[in-house]
Amino acid sequence: MDEIFMKRAIELARKGEGFTSPNPCVGAVIVKGGQIVAEGWHQKAGADHAEIVAIKQMMMKSGIMTVDIEPMLFHNATLYVTLEPCAHIGKTPPCVKAVSAAGFSKVVIGMRDPFKKVNGKGISYLKKHGIKVSVIKPTSKLAEDVRAVNQPFIKTVTLGLPYLTLKAGLSLDGKIATSSRNSKWITNEKSRIDSKIERSKCDAVIIGARTVCADNPELAAIGDYKSKNLLRVVVGDKFDFDKNMKVFRDQNVLIACSDAMPSRLKKKFIDASVSVKSFGKKKVVLKKLLKYLSLNGVQSVFVEGGSGLNGSLFDENLADSKLVDRVLFYYAPKLVGGEKSLSVIGGTGIDKISDSIDIVKSKFELIDQDLKYDGVINFY
């Protein structure tokens, strides 16, 4: 039965995907008499956590409108929550106090919270207050499903780097543009919309300066995520911009350059109130950029680079395998050919196939005639 109720909690947690950063996505269900009687999920940072939402829902269903928790209501009830309840004060009070006050007979937890201010402290608090606690076995498939919900959060709090998805639309022979640099459009409209939704779930989008100049993209969130204002990070040293470019529609943009950027261009950005920061002497060191983004609250990044940026990223990843976590490739049923056509990943590459980067999890989906390939490189 634990698996059934935890799977429902996972479904609820995913409702918060793309909205809760820098917090994790969490779902909770309350079970009594073998039935789900209340449920909740964390909807956004600063709002009630999943456990509190579920507790309040159960009280409202019972006609209790006070702020005080009625313990008798939760007698013999079990709380299922995907992540260890917090034991520290953040934007909201510690959840463990409310869970303890409710007097649940048992709390089933999907995984321990890797955040150092919580890690194990929530479990200890509940046990000290007489509540039976069970944690899903970490090596189980169910625990893997729980962890899958919060890959960006887990990576950020454990490694200090944002979770990175690299996206590309390409032909079957791996080309993203012809030899004349024509690329509109390789994939179909539904694929392009799907990729924008995937982008919208992230905190920031990274793009190469040449791609910005060529395409003048808006890089905005869409659909249910339309209210989000994604940070746009433009990578390059020779980006002589037009202030009317869509990427500069507001100040939520960062120019990531190296010390080699001409002072004339740097001044032009600064005079236009555009943030400019160097991440290397002769070229942008992408790991430095990613660490900087993580320190500034970015948990997940979506890379829409051209061949050059993708190549630099993968070349760095060969030395540090924790930079690129996921590839999202939209394959169109087209063949482009041409030695001078742009491949999806440029750079230096590898000499031996044995040095290639392996995909550990793969998913496929047809979008009309396009194939969406979702490949996981790192699972945390």
Residues carrying an active site annotation: 51
Q: Please state the length of the chain.
A: 380
DSSP structure class, residue 279:
-
Q: Name the phi and psi angles at 317, rounded to 5.
A: -65, -25
DSSP structure class, residue 104:
-
Starting at the edge strand that comes first in sequence, how are the strands of the sheet with 253-257 ordered?
275-278, 253-257, 231-235, 204-208, 300-303, 163-171, 326-332, 370-376, 361-367
- Asked if 111 and 138 touch (Cβ cutoff 8 Å), the reply is yes
Q: Where are the beta strands (DSSP E) in 155-299?
A: 163-171, 175-177, 204-208, 231-235, 253-257, 275-278
* Structural element, H or E, at residue 50: helix 50-61
CA distance 135 to 85: 12
Our CA angle for 191, 192, 195, nearest 5°, is 85
What are residue 165's DSSP bridge partners? 302, 326
Output the DSSP codes for 325-363: -EEEEEEES-----TTSEESS-SS--SSGGGSPPPSEEE
